[in-house]
Structure 1
Amino acid sequence: MPYHLEVCIDTIESLPHALAGGATRIELCSSLALGGLTPSFGLMRQAAQRSSVPVYAMIRPRQGDFLYDADDIACMQYDIAAAHQAGLQGVVLGLLTEHGQVDTQRCRKLIEQAHSLGLGVTFHRAFDQCQDAQQALESIIELGCERLLTSGQAPTALQGADLIAELVRQSNGRIAIMAGAGVNAANAPLLAQHTGVTELHLSGKTTRASKMRFIAAQSKMGAAAVDDFVVPVTDRQTIADTASALKSGA
């Protein structure tokens, strides 16, 4: 059975590593350390020009929760248009109400915009904050999303595998269920076998040291606990090992 391996990246440097490792789709973000935010237009355009597989842009205008106001929605509309203009194949989004339900009214507005531009739509792990997983899944299917990314409402997909399996059964082919969070070569075959998913999501993230020869260590660009001179990058071997494990063990 063929598997889709979606790799989440937040730098253009990571793209060739993800592709060489065997990614079949890219989720493009900024700030993976914050769970992924909307990438810049420049990053979207570069990825579209260089990728040999579909690229989906995260549409998340800020860190924090998934309860968005009208100004947030306006930002997301511009960003969906930018993803189309950049030449990407899809977008990734998720909006909730204050009571932990899928915000179908506002989601529909954005999803209809994306579909009108020929973009596919993935509903992201905002789902894992929903009160009622089964009800939320039906809402997401009704909205016309092509896939749902979930950890099974657990810290990792392996821990949430039982719920993911239930969602696969409930979906009955109406939407793809993609397992994500903590996916690696050691657990990907087990996840696929136990849950029935054919799509898995990981970042394979690591870091590299800065190539700067001079560093003013006393000057900080952000939070004191963050090293300004560590560059996040996808580890090609991690992706390759996971892709190989899926092919041979699932």
Structure 2
Amino acid sequence: MTALEFAVQDVAGAVCARGVGADRVELCAALGSTGGLTPSIGTIDAVVATGIPVHALIRCRAGGFVYSDLDEIAVMNADARAAVSAGVAGLVVGALTPDHRVDIQVLERVLDGVPVDDIELTFHRAIDQINDRSATLDTLIAWGVTRVLTSGGAARCADGLDELAAMVGHAAGRVQIMAGGGVTVEDIPALHRVGVDAVHLSARQLVADDGGPGDGSTSGHEKLDGKLAAAAAAQLQAVEAAGRSSD
């Protein structure tokens, strides 16, 4: 069974995701402009209250995933502990060494004091900056990660199908491979065929909303597009049903 996850930024997005039958949401902030940052604790509280399993992104700033600043690591640790205390089902984390390997030491500091046995851990698309993703999967499996979010190293999942298939084969059920990165409704059948354990979409739309001269941007704000979310859920249900009928 292929799981469906939406990246959402607010309560409305979580309610929408739950309404179309999503299995969980990744909760983040500033998704379009930064790729996602840690949401506020107020947002986490409110989204957890919707009842859908919430996986909170722990990322203190935009840019790369090398964290040598102890203050940054301390902030992420505080955010991780607060998110788990608020009732999230999982955390989404990632950290790299300067030579683009998984930085287990930083991850352990980020999760210091977090009851990791009680939650799921997703390693995010920092993995797409690593050349040897098979070896990285072995490292993450040994460390206890539940799943990895990846485009197969491509800009879009549709361009990384061969690598996604290779990662699924290498994982061999030891860790979940979740396809994410530019996923469209039309991509879902191909992603299902390569055997990924989950599909991750933002399915967002831009709402025009001028914040004025002090806003820094007049483009508006993003929200989960209900029609796209429903279409994605229907597409996944259809390919799952087709797969069962052909067995």
With normalisation by structure 1, the TM-score equals: 0.90
Deviation, structure 1 residue 116: 4.2
Which residue of the partner structure matches residue 154 of structure 2? 154
The DSSP-based 3-state class of the residue aligned with 2:153 is coil
Which residue of the partner structure matches residue 25 of structure 1? 24
Contact preservation (8 Å) 1:38, 1:60: yes
Query: What letter corresponds to residue 36 of structure 2 in structure 1?
Result: G
Greater Cα shift, 96-105 or 15-24: 15-24
Query: What letter corresponds to residue 3 of structure 1 in structure 2?
Result: T
Q: 1:129 to 1:220 in 2, by over 3 A?
A: same
The DSSP-based 3-state class of the residue aligned with 1:81 is helix
Which residue of the partner structure matches residue 204 of structure 2? 205
Which residue of the partner structure matches residue 14 of structure 2? 15
Query: What letter corresponds to residue 151 of structure 2 in structure 1?
Result: S
Q: Select 1:233's aligned residue among 223, 226, 243.
A: 223
The DSSP-based 3-state class of the residue aligned with 1:114 is coil
Partners in 2 of 1:3 and 1:76 — Cα distance?
30
The DSSP-based 3-state class of the residue aligned with 2:56 is strand
Which residue of the partner structure matches residue 174 of structure 1? 174
Deviation, structure 1 residue 112: 6.0
Instruction: Report sequence identity in percent.
Output: 36
Contact preservation (8 Å) 2:11, 2:46: yes
Q: Is 2:63 the counterpart of 1:64? A: yes
Q: Is 2:214 the counterpart of 1:220? A: yes
Q: 1:182 to 1:216 in 2, by over 3 A?
A: closer
Which residue of the partner structure matches residue 130 of structure 1? 130
Partners in 1 of 2:108 and 2:172 — Cα distance?
22
Q: Select 1:246's aligned residue among 207, 212, 236.
A: 236
The DSSP-based 3-state class of the residue aligned with 1:243 is helix
Q: Which ranges of structure 1 fall in alignment gaps of 5 or more residues?
A: none
Query: What letter corresponds to residue 163 of structure 2 in structure 1?
Result: L
The DSSP-based 3-state class of the residue aligned with 1:140 is helix
Contact preservation (8 Å) 1:107, 1:143: no
Deviation, structure 1 residue 110: 3.4
The DSSP-based 3-state class of the residue aligned with 1:6 is strand
Q: 1:117 to 1:133 in 2, by over 3 A?
A: closer
Q: 1:216 to 1:15 in 2, by over 3 A?
A: closer
Contact preservation (8 Å) 2:178, 2:197: yes
Partners in 2 of 1:12 and 1:156 — Cα distance?
27
The DSSP-based 3-state class of the residue aligned with 2:105 is helix
The CA RMSD measured in Å over matched residues stands at 1.7
Query: What letter corresponds to residue 235 of structure 2 in structure 1?
Result: A
Deviation, structure 1 residue 231: 2.2
The DSSP-based 3-state class of the residue aligned with 1:37 is coil
The DSSP-based 3-state class of the residue aligned with 1:99 is coil
Deviation, structure 1 residue 77: 0.8
The DSSP-based 3-state class of the residue aligned with 1:8 is strand
Which residue of the partner structure matches residue 52 of structure 2? 53
Contact preservation (8 Å) 1:94, 1:126: yes
Partners in 2 of 1:68 and 1:90 — Cα distance?
21
Give CA deviations for 1:119-145 in whole Å, capped at 9, x if unaligned. Answer: 211000000011321221111111100
Give CA deviations for 1:142-199 in whole Å, capped at 9, x if unaligned. Answer: 1100000000000011101111110111011110000001212211011110x21120
Q: 1:216 to 1:207 in 2, by over 3 A?
A: closer
Query: What letter corresponds to residue 154 of structure 1 in structure 2?
Result: A
